[in-house]
Structures are given as structure tokens and as C-alpha cells.
A = this chain, B = another copy of it.
């Protein structure tokens, strides 16, 4: 099980990094700039979480995350022509990664003694703030606040996690059900073009 979770974690990192690198390349960033945007997309959410809960940022304890992001850059460089066709594959990876990131964020926050509502916020930050920083770096309005249901699926995952816990589920089952809920919510949201209503401005 550990191996499967680790695999999903790296697959999610890979998919998040790819999304950062692709958007950076659309803005004419150089290779190194694209790599930085990829890394920040992949680890940015978890880093903000770790700063807020006063833990050592997770990617500073294991070089794997920077290496996986480097492989993502290599992948885009080599298979540039096929990247568009693999769009759906990346989407699945991204959604699996999102579910896992939410679970990791909640687990780590609870382990440090914070209450459930803080853990749900941290799960949401882990899953969605990487994409937010990515959009800030490439100078666009954050997509996650304007398209599909993205950040909100992280909140949903947090609520599922809480319900599982209250029902007395084991840690592993709670994690699995939460991650699958986020994944399912993303698939459904994108397939049926569900989105949160736009807030109409007063001006």
C-alpha cells in the first residue's frame, strides 16, 4: 500500500509539474524558468501548508520531488509533439495527485494537533495553492478560481475525511475514500462541465 501511495504521490507531482511547464512554455520562459514554474506548481501548495503549520517543507527532506519535476521537464522537451495528445492522461494523473495531496495535507495537519477545520483548509491549500502560485508566476488570473470545480473538490474531500473519521473508519480506509472522492468529484465536474457560479460584479 505504501508503494502505491508513493507512486501516486510522484505521479501527481509529475502531472502538476507538467501543467506548470506547459503554461510556462506558452509564455516563452526559458528551460530553467519553466523548471522553476513546474517545481513551484508541484510543491507550492504543500510548501505553503508546511510554512503555516510550522513544519519543514516536505521537499527539503527528500530530493525526489525536485528530481520528478526535472523528469517532467525532460519529458516535455523530448515528447513535445505528443504532450497535447496525452492531455487526458495528464488530467487523470493530476486528479489522482490532487486527491492524494489533499489526504497528505489533512493527515500532516492533524498529526501536529490542529483541529479538523484547520486540517480541511490545509488539505485545500495543499491541493490548490500550487496552481495558484503557478498562475501568479506566469502573470495570469488564477484559473482555479474561475474554471471547473477545483479547489472546492479539496474542501469536499476534507468533509468526506471528517465523516469517515466520525463513522469510526480506519486511517487507511479514510484516506482511500477521501482520495477517491476528490478524484471522482474532479472527473464528474469536468465531464459534465459543472462549475461554481460566477460572482456577478457590482461595477
Contact = CB atoms under 8 A, between A and B. Distances in A.
Interface stretch (A24-32, A158-166, A169-177): A24-32
A145 B37 CA distance: 9
Contact of A33 (B51, B140, B146): B146
Contacts of A200: 25, 80
A186 interface: no
A142 B33 contact: yes
A139 B141 contact: yes
The binding surface of chain A is classed by DSSP as: helix
A80 B140 contact: no
A114 B60 contact: yes
A196 interface: yes
A184 interface: no
Interface residues of A, number: 58
Contacts of A29: 141, 145-146, 198-199
Nearest to A125: B36
A32 B199 CA distance: 9
A199 B21 contact: yes
Total copies of this chain within the assembly: 3
Contacts of A7: none
Contacts of A88: none
Nearest to A139: B141
Given A37-B145, A136-B137, A199 B57 contact: no
Interface of A: 21-22, 24-34, 36-37, 47, 51-54, 56-57, 60, 63, 66, 76-77, 80-81, 83-84, 114, 117-118, 121, 132, 136-142, 144-146, 151-152, 155, 195-203
12 contacts: A28-B198, A29-B141, A29-B145, A29-B198, A30-B195, A31-B199, A33-B145, A34-B199, A51-B51, A52-B57, A80-B200, A136-B139
The 9 closest A-B pairs by CB, nearest first: A33-B145, A30-B196, A25-B201, A25-B199, A26-B201, A34-B199, A139-B141, A29-B145, A32-B152
